[in-house]
Structure 1
Amino acid sequence: MTVLGVGIEPGTPLAHLQEAVDALALAGFDVVATISTRATEPAVVALAAGRTLRTYPASELDTVDVPSPSAVVRRLTGTGSVAEAAAVLAARERGGGVLVTPKQRGHGVTVAVAR
């Protein structure tokens, strides 16, 4: 089971998110995970179509130890990590929880992978 963690700036087009996902060269992913405030973001909803979408409040994301927290993300969202932390939390729910691809940046997005 592969989890894709997503951090996204509001209004970022699906094409930018898809480009970042494609750069990961994943064979596939089962779950899209992000911060609760992005649960209705159109690009996230579109990417998650046909998959499980898991969202977490900033306070829960902030409990996850990640390799590359961001002071800017913390200032904007209340947590030092969205993509990495969300991926790890969703993977933990399914018996995993190992970050296999740390966050990768794209145009207005970050993506990370956990299993």
Structure 2
Amino acid sequence: MRVGIGARPGVTAEEVLAAVDAVLPAGAADVRLATLDVRAAEPGIAAAAAARGWPLAGHSAAELAAVAVPAPSARVAAAVGTPSVAEAAALLGGGTLVVPRTVHGRVTVAVARGSEPWTP
């Protein structure tokens, strides 16, 4: 499962893990996190991935903007240069969205299932 993460700066690992745990389907295996490249450097996101042993990939705004998503946001596009972070990061490389963009406090998550290659 590929979990796309969008977050406010300064988010904690606990916030990220709580958001992921709230939406990750039961029995999910091969969990991988993906986000905007500048967010992948956020200590809370990196710490959340490390705490669970999940790979974390960061993608440029241009890469994420090229992904068609069901819920693009003009506000997000103005802020970070792509109309979607969580859904686009989850869907990058293909797959099927199984949990659409869901907001949990300062973290937004989306989950996709697919057989896309993984390159952290």
Give me the TM-score of the superposition, normalised by structure 2: 0.84
Runs of 4+ in 1 over 6 A off after TM superposition: none
Matched-pair contact (CA < 8 Å) for 2:98–2:111: yes
1:29-68 alignment runs, 5 A limit: 29-49=30-50, 50-68=53-71
Q: Secondary structure at the match of 2:95?
A: coil
- Deviation of 1:54 after TM superposition, in Å, equals 1.2
Identity in percent: 47
Q: Secondary structure at the match of 1:18?
A: helix
RMSD, aligned α-carbons: 1.3
CA deviation map 1:17-65 (0-9, x unaligned): 2221121143335210000011211111012112211111001100111
Matched-pair contact (CA < 8 Å) for 2:12–2:45: no
- Deviation of 1:73 after TM superposition, in Å, equals 0.7
* 1:105 aligned residue: 103
Residue 74 (structure 1) aligned to one of 67, 74, 77:
77
Moved more, 46-55 or 5-14: 46-55
Matched-pair contact (CA < 8 Å) for 1:4–1:113: yes
- Deviation of 1:15 after TM superposition, in Å, equals 2.1
Q: Secondary structure at the match of 1:45?
A: helix
* 2:116 aligned residue: none
Please, which runs of 5 or more residues in structure 2 have no aligned partner?
A: 114-120
Matched, 1:22 2:21: yes
Please, which runs of 5 or more residues in structure 1 have no aligned partner?
A: none
